[in-house]
Structure 1
Amino acid sequence: MSEFDALCANDGDLADLRVRVRRFVAADRDRFGWKPEIDSWLTSWDAGFSERLADAGFVGLTIPTEYGGHGLGFLHRYVVTEELLGAGAPVAAHWFADRQVAPSLLSYGSEEQRRRLLPGIAAGRLYSAIGMSEHGAGSDLAATATRATRTGDGWLLNGTKVWTSGGHRAHFAIVLARTSPLDPEHRHAGFSQFIVTLDAPGVTISPIVTLDGHHHFNEVTFDDVAVGDADLLGEVGDGWHQVTAELGFERSGPERILSTAILIFGVIRALGTQHVDDRTAAEVGDLIGRAMALRQLSVSVARALSDGQDAATRAALVKDLGTRFEQQSVELCADLLDYVDDDGDLRAILATARQHSPMFTLRGGTNEVLRGVIARGLGVR
């Protein structure tokens, strides 16, 4: 296989999978009438769609068959993800559980945890939130103040998480907490992760409503929440290593370059019906060229993950470059829309994209912090 073929991600059975997903999405949209959305992986929650997608065999692709999944690789999931985001499909309900929690359970979870949680995730019916960020610990997760204190038969969890996407609808959250006192010389030591049901006594979920009136973020407070040993994910004290690996899946996926895909595709299709000058054609070419380069970088990370390689540095690079491209693409598309006779649909999508644009470089770790991760990964001090 040539290097170009590898970057196309259509080798083997991937091309057939891509066609099947594309057909499913088109048929499901025609039948159920959902509308493509900007940032669909974060804001478009549709439990029915997630269940239908799972029933069609497109959720839990990387989960082994003995846990209800399909036993395929990260590239298979990448292809499905790319097609779903390119169509702006409403995938938020199952997103975090399928993207981050399932790989973490397979890497670090106990056999009991896998059998308890993975079948529901693969069925698109068990939803998870991620409890990492706090008011004083956003991109710098080493400042996490949430604590889990040992008790006779488990742990007591106290603290507050913020920007918890889907927390008001999720069944459980994976929560990062400090289980040992802070050592200023080793800030990344002493963390553990816990599986916490979000209807447990002591859990309070407060909505964070964005400027556009939408509620997908939350503040989640844990007040002496009892967590059993069976819900410790991995080993005590290994939380930082686990989170770092988990963030590789979060930062490198196509959602870091395709959040604005429906706007870009829509503008280009509209321009195809217009007479455009050479300058406009060059702007379109630049936009597509940058998108293709970023996609190829993202695919290369997916292949590295498929091969079991450490891709943390490359994942951070994808997130930095990809989210900056997403932000810049919004205003590039706004300029290109001046050449389009639009009925208002694209301008409505543009308005939503502008509202979401400031978030692109913040979530998943701010780009400024990620540049430090990249520098360290390259050996720069």
Structure 2
Amino acid sequence: MRDDSPGRAIARAATARILSTASTTFPDMKLSNFSLPVSALSPGLDALRREVREFLAAERAAGGYARTAAGWDRYDPAFSRKVAARGWIGMTWPARYGGRERSFLERYVVAEELLSAGAPVRAHWLADRQIGPLLLAVGTEAQKRTWLPRIAAGECYFCVGLSEPDSGSDLSSIRTRAVKVEGGWRVTGTKVWTSYAHMAHMMNLFARTSPRSEENRHAGVTQFLVDLKTPGVTIRPIHNLAGDHDFNEVIFDDVLLPEDAVIGKLDGAWSQVTGELAHERSGSERWLNAYGLLVSLIDQAGPQPGAADAAHVGRLVAQLWTLHRMSFSIAGMLQRGEAPDVEAALVKDLGTHFDQEVPAVARRVMPEAARARLGEGHPFNAMLERAQCYAPSHTIRGGTQEILRGIIARGLGLR
């Protein structure tokens, strides 16, 4: 590429723009700088974004949290309760269930700011993101009144029991069974890779309640609410290659669940879980895992990066801007009551590859000798190490690349 080529100019301009918001103290990069003015959609969104940033700045100044290499993927119940006290959990839910009846666009702004700041929101994240909408859509009135206010208060945390040994991403092949008995359901089976089951209060369990049909492989499965303190539930840690304990194996040994544990329609969980996954796959958490590393990389590149470095980093910035706009548009679709299943799969697929590309670019821009000069304990090196360790998992979590591209192909009429 020539130094005066349009591509080089765009890369340099993007890098210069992102450099203007970064500093060696790793503040939040203002993602709204890279989007169309949100005030055109709602005058309150800019004010809300400022409110969240002020809250986060005050929390950092008071020692409430600090950005670490783990970013937002940290359990901190005390911080989650602070977020809840601001009305930022269950934002779109009805007030009678503890919600604030705000828009999906407002929720998106809050979520993006929390994640980009590396705030420790993992404790309440899953319950807010997908369990609440699931219960609002198909839960009983008793379930809504029992669980939604506790989630909105930042006091009840969930995990999801989907994957199983030998099943991979083929959820139709699950073998965990729930058998109807007097007074409820008896559950036997094993779930694996269950994120933060050892810290959660409840599980959304995906179990087979009828035999698998060759005509419809996805029939015969049901979702259940499971109190993880129920007798017969055993949680065993799975330590990953980074030395962290976030995954778990969860064993159900003749566990008795009450009648009212069923979520939604008996044998109808497949359609429910696909709608739930649209919430899981479309958010900015799918492309902000390596965000702290990107900001740190820009700091290390300095105000006058070389042409090759500017091109590499500028390309990342362009992808970041695109993913931001895509996720924001999906929030608009949710606001209109649409089901963005295909669009969510697109964001998840593109976003996870972006999270993998950030550490790859960081290694090119900051080769081994440059990293050694920073020292082993430098934040850049810590973030790069974690991003590299977790990069392979991004195209597996929340649906493998192959599964996602099948959804996209079918949605686009390509197969």
TM-score tier by shorter-chain length is over 0.9
Distance 1:133 1:8 in 2: 41
What is the match of residue 358 of structure 2?
329
Is the CA contact (8 Å cut-off) linking 2:70 and 2:386 kept in structure 1? no
Distance 1:378 1:221 in 2: 39
AA matched with 1:303: G
- Aligned ranges for residues 32-71 of structure 1 at < 5 Å? 32=63, 34-38=65-69, 40-41=71-72, 43-71=73-101
Distance 2:48 2:382 in 1: 32
In structure 1, the residue corresponding to 2:348 is in which secondary structure? helix
One of 293, 296, 300 as aligned partner of 1:263: 293
Distance 2:374 2:112 in 1: 26
Change (3 A) 1:9 1:323: farther
What is the match of residue 28 of structure 1?
59
AA matched with 1:32: G
Deviations 1:204-229 (A, max 9, x none): 00001112221111110111111112
What is the match of residue 176 of structure 1?
206
Is the CA contact (8 Å cut-off) linking 2:39 and 2:46 kept in structure 1? no
| TM-score normalised according to structure 2 size | 0.87
| TM-score normalised according to structure 1 size | 0.94
Distance 2:242 2:313 in 1: 29
Change (3 A) 1:152 1:6: farther
* Deviation for aligned residue 1:335: 2.0
Distance 2:71 2:84 in 1: 17
Distance 1:6 1:145 in 2: 49
User: Which runs of 5 or more residues in structure 1 are unaligned?
Assistant: none
What is the match of residue 279 of structure 2?
249
Is the CA contact (8 Å cut-off) linking 1:40 and 1:88 kept in structure 2? yes
Distance 2:133 2:145 in 1: 14
Change (3 A) 1:319 1:205: same
AA matched with 1:147: R
What is the match of residue 12 of structure 1?
43
Distance 1:116 1:9 in 2: 38
Distance 1:105 1:215 in 2: 29
What is the match of residue 338 of structure 2?
309
Is the CA contact (8 Å cut-off) linking 2:69 and 2:382 kept in structure 1? no
Distance 1:151 1:9 in 2: 56
Matched, 1:159 2:189: yes
AA matched with 2:363: A
Is the CA contact (8 Å cut-off) linking 1:130 and 1:175 kept in structure 2? yes
Larger radius of gyration: 2
Matched, 1:361 2:399: no
AA matched with 2:179: T
- Aligned ranges for residues 341-356 of structure 1 at < 5 Å? 342=374, 344-356=378-390
What is the match of residue 117 of structure 1?
147
What is the match of residue 157 of structure 2?
127
* Deviation for aligned residue 1:9: 8.8
In structure 2, the residue corresponding to 1:160 is in which secondary structure? strand
In structure 2, the residue corresponding to 1:13 is in which secondary structure? helix
AA matched with 1:191: V
Distance 1:373 1:44 in 2: 30
> Aligned-pair RMSD on alpha carbons?
1.8
What is the match of residue 290 of structure 1?
319
Residue correspondences, number = 376
AA matched with 1:361: T
